[in-house]
Structure 1
Amino acid sequence: MPANTSPAVDLVLLGGEVVDGTGTPPRPADVAVKDGRVVAVGRGLRAQAGRRVDVTGLTVVPGFIDPHSHSDWSILGNRDAQSTIRQGVTTEIVGNCGVTYAPLSPTGVAAARKALRAYGYDGEVTWRGFPGLLEAVHRQGGGTSQNLAWFVGHSALREAAEVRGSGADADGVSRMARHLEEAMDAGALGMSSGLEYGSGRDASTEELADVAATLSRYDGIYASHIRNRDVHLLDAVAEFLAIARQGGLRAQLSHLNVRHGTGAPAGAWHEAADRLAAQRDAGMDVLADMTPYPHGIGFATGLLPGWLLADGPDRAARLLGDAAVRSRLRGDCDRYWRFVHQGQWDRVTLASSPATPEWEGLSIPQLAERLDQDCWDTYFDILRAAGADMQDVQLIGRLFTPEHVAEAIAHPLFCLGVDGFTSRTDGPLAERTRHPLFFTGHTHYIAHHVLQAGTLTLEEAVRKTTSMVADRFALHGRGRIQAGAHADLAVLDLPALSAQDTFAYTGRYASGVPHVVVNGRLVVHDSLHLGTRAGQYLPRG
């Protein structure tokens, strides 16, 4: 080829089996890419290419799209998205569960700075509004390796509007709506809420509906970590549907599952899923998502009653030094992870503890034994030590039965996500993510649920992690391998994945995904991260 002649295409993946994201079975095909797009899919492609990668014996799929990620918490400290991009995740839907680090009130900046430092970000919090956060992530500091599409958090809207407790009057709702409008004008997908913890727990249904009404002007999505997933699951689902129905909104029910052994009525999850199906049949655009493991992350303060938190975390920490307060709390923390009230602290591991990082990764009973006290006092001591950072204490819980996880994963109305955040094997993030959820959560769907347990076929698992998610969030031209689509691609080594134990935390990055392409550029090649930051901000389509 003459030196002054450009190749016909930029990249060709040669000799692989293609699972194209539509649900159709694998087929032998090469994939050609030019200018960030797939330009041809077929056997025997002979176009001159700037780069040719032999993927014989491997499987080419659309890059995975996580419908429920919290990587907005860690992306500023991990722009290379090390733990997720190496699993083939090329796009993440972030800003979930009501918790985003914008918009911010002037008094919220210091708390955001502290929280982000624990996620590996040592820069300054220079933004206040949601557009400023997008600027910091996507147009400053070198960008990101993966694509991101964003929700704005309802709890953040409350904080920025200086709404406290349950008293969101008309002026407070108006201030929240203005912040929401600013985020939507910047391209946010919609608003997320988290109603089991923090400020979201104080919000009334009326407040949520009034603020969410703003979304209707933008065709925005209301996504919700609903108010209860045990005894009152059906009431919480009814509230979620009522908010969506009142605003005529598209709606996403985040991680619709039921925590094992917490008092949910028999058949409640099936009835909840049936209600979603009935609403879809009646014309509502509603879906849910599910997580891959029986484990999940949670906020330690979710167990605490409102009266303890009413005057802020500093005051709550001081109260935790009072033996009488602790005695009262032992009978007044029966919420969120209710199984601890049955003495099942063995299901709880400390994931993140700003004041006592040396305890991270240990179960509450292990810590209690080390401290020579019971589990309740250990829990209270962790929170008291955190003080003003109490809301940043995170737990990992063994929440669901394997049978329930498999049933939800297979349900036709459920996209497949992880409910974690991108991490890395060094620095502050390494210390707080010592669990397979962060390093093999995405490959677990293929390794375990497809190749080992047979929960799903390969083509259906790929569809539920690619085109189904792209269609749900209107990510046009993504989630499929077809001519004209954005070239977000992952190459899987199925025999290697089949042999893996993705339930085990190894402290290493995932293997079994040797090549990853984002917007037409190789980011991972021969299992090495190239340092490429080809990700884009994906505004509402």
Structure 2
Amino acid sequence: MPVSASSATVSSGVDLLLSGGQVVDGTGAPARRADVAVRGGRVVAVGVDLRLEAARRIDATGLTVTPGFIDPHSHSDWSVLGNRDAQSTVRQGVTTEIVGNCGVTYAPLTETGADEARRALHAYGYEGPVSWRTFPELLDVVHRQDRGTAQNLAWLVGHTALRDAARVRGGSVGADGLARMVFLLEEALEAGALGMSSGLEYGSGRHATTGELAEVTAVLKRHDGIYASHIRNRDAHLLDAVEEFLTIARHNGLRAQLSHLNVRHDTGAPDGAWHDAVARLGTEREAGLDVLADMTPYPHGIGLATGLLPNWLLADGPGGAARRLGDPDVRRRLRQDCDRYWRFVHRGQWERVVLATSPATPELEGLSFPEIAALRGQDCWDAFFDVLRAAGSDMPTVQLMGRLFTPEHVAEAVAHPLFCLGVDGFTSRTEGPLAARTRHPLFFTGHLHYLAHHVLRAKTLSLEEAVRKMTSMVADRFRLSGRGRVRPGQHADLAVLDLPALAAQDTFAFTGTYATGVPHVLVNGELVVHHGRHLGTRPGRYLPGR
């Protein structure tokens, strides 16, 4: 077998040599037996039987070496300040996450927003002050050298955060509000944000018009930024929501990512709607529009509880909404007017919903709403309203975990060539506040579920294709130069997998422990996980847009 870089080119020795493993290089090429040499944070040679002096050697015989996984749709910006070691994700071989999705970022902030952010971040294990207000200031807090992160992070700025910081309310933006949003977006992009995300099913983002989004995203074109969107509807009006997404992308000629393009089961979507939506993406790509989508690994997913609530209840903010929930007449009206998000609850399917995060009622976290209702002697609607009322001003922090999709639908989307593979979760840990709020395999084995279940058990797609969709496809999509491949010159973000151990792991079960099956993980050439043990190193970097 040819050697990708001869030993002569690395004659001075290397920092680390992974020897004897099977390399799946992230390009989709067949697996091959090869050694991998690392020096100065980069891969410097890939080939058979490299005879090099190495400061450290790892015998990878019987193991598989891949690029570190890159999550295209993560919310780890919510939890990284309380979990800089990225315990649950880096142990799965995840070395980079694209954060700031669905329009929800904790910068930029107003003074009022800072108070709300402090309470929300406290629920994710962060005990420090919210001293930042601008997006660049947040980046400095996360990435400053005295603390660091275990993983690389690349950031989007949230459209909802821009709206709130610009004090835009409702559907009328006005020239001044638009100018403030544009200024704040420019500021984030100049600080290196990859682009902007939107979340159009909840929060202030649900009020945005197509025209507003088209005007704001014009800024992205000037910076070659990407637009990622949690679209307005993924059930009864999926096709309309996809058309809005495409209209915005076409208007400014944007690179655009349709976040978690899936259809919630039994929510009124027309027959064939998902296939029609994916076909529209394919047609637009053939016409020259740079659009792709991503998918999640499980039939389950997280959601914001306020997404069910109508605009009229939220008009005076979450505190006002909480007060109004004490009125029986308001509750009666809401029972008929919450059919906009997770519509299956209006078909009586509350057993599909678990309360995931609820700082005001932590004793109920992890229970389904029928279980909560039984404990409290109520029906599910009143139990839901009571949880939100108890949250008060912190209502936006209440998160749900839902059984949203059929396994067949998940498998079809995972295998589709237009879909990157992400998790739509956030990095967690087995102790502290995060442990109590992430009692689902999504957070601890979600990335490995693609390999353990979809590749090794269900044969949804090949190992080489799954790795490509989790590495180079994402790196290319978000223009993360030098990442996503096992190739000389690339940054040495590497995962070493034990495929038999992964095949034996039940990634559908939540065990309360970290994943196994990834004995070694390197980030920028430094070992973070070695023989399955987290070393506490934090070599992660901030990866700015070009």
TM-score normalised per structure 2: 0.98
Aligned runs of 1:283-302 on 2, under 5 Å? 283-302=288-307
CA offsets per residue over residues 107-160 of structure 1, 9 Å max, x none? 211001111111111001111110000000001551100000000000000011
Task: Give the counterpart of 1:63 among 59, 68, 71.
Answer: 68
Structure 1: which amino acid aligns with 2:475?
A
Match of 2:179 among 171, 174, 177: 174
- Pairing partner for 1:159 from 161, 164, 177: 164
Work out the CA distance in 2 between the residues paired with 1:46 and 1:71: 40
In structure 1, what is the equivalent of residue 463 of structure 2? 458
Q: Which residue of 2 aligns with 1:437?
A: 442
- Preserved CA contact (<8 Å) 1:7 1:50: no
- Is the Cα–Cα contact under 8 Å of residues 289 and 415 in structure 1 kept in the other structure? yes
Give yes or no for the alignment of 1:303 onto 2:308: yes
1:323 to 325, 328, 333: 328
Q: How far off its partner does 1:454 sit?
A: 0.3
Number of residue pairs matched? Answer: 536
Correspondence 1:7-26 to 2 at 5 A:
8-26=13-31
Among 484, 488, 499, the residue aligned to 1:479: 484
Q: Distance in 2 between matches of 1:126 and 1:511?
A: 37
Q: Distance in 1 between matches of 2:419 and 2:441?
A: 22
Q: Percent identity?
A: 76
Are 2:520 and 1:490 aligned? Answer: no
Q: Distance in 2 between matches of 1:265 and 1:93?
A: 32
1:423 partnered with 2:428: yes
**TM-score, structure 1 normalization:** 0.98
Structure-2 residue corresponding to 1:126: 131
Rounded to whole Å, the distance in 2 between the matches of 1:373 and 1:210 is: 46
Task: Give the SS at the match of 1:421.
Answer: coil
> In structure 2, what is the equivalent of residue 3 of structure 1?
none
What is the CA deviation profile of residues 378-417 of structure 1, one whole-angstrom value per residue up to 9, with x for unaligned ones?
A: 0000000000000100000000000000000000000000
Using the alignment, how far apart are the partners of 1:107 and 1:385 within structure 2? 20
Distance 2:246 2:284 in 1: 8
Pairing 1:46–2:68 present: no
Deviates more, 1:453-462 or 1:158-167: 158-167
Give me the whole-angstrom Cα distance separating, in 2, the residues matched to 1:209 and 1:108.
25
Query: In the TM superposition, what is the alpha-carbon distance from 1:7 to its structure 2 partner?
Result: 6.2
**Conserved? CA contact 1:7–1:49, under 8 Å:** no
Which amino acid letter does the alignment assign opposite residue 375 of structure 1? C
Runs of 4+ in 1 over 2 A off after TM superposition: none
Shift of 1:354: 1.1
- SS of the residue corresponding to residue 513 of structure 2 reads coil
Q: Which residue matches 1:351?
A: 356
- Map of 1:511 onto structure 2: 516
Two-structure CA RMSD over aligned residues (Å): 0.8
Q: Structure 1: which 5+ residue stretches go unaligned?
A: 1-5
Whole-angstrom CA distance in 2 between matches of 1:176 and 1:204: 14
Instruction: Give CA deviations for 1:67-126 in whole Å, capped at 9, x if unaligned.
Output: 000000000000000000000000000000000000011221100111111111100111
Deviation, structure 1 residue 447: 0.2
One-letter identity of the residue aligned with 1:365? P
Matches within 5 A, 1:375-390: 375-390=380-395
Residue segments in structure 2 that go unaligned for 5+ positions in a row: 1-10
- Check conservation: 1:353, 1:382, Cα contact below 8 A: yes
- In 1, the alpha carbon distance for the partners of 2:480 and 2:492 equals 13
Matched, 1:414 2:427: no
Aligned mates of 1:499, 1:520 — CA distance in 2:
29
Offset at 1:46? Answer: 1.5
Which residue, out of 232, 240, 248, partners 2:237? Answer: 232
- Deviation of the 1:198 alpha carbon: 0.6
1:502 is aligned to 507
Partner of 2:337: 332
- Counterpart CA distance in 1 for 2:311 and 2:436 is 30
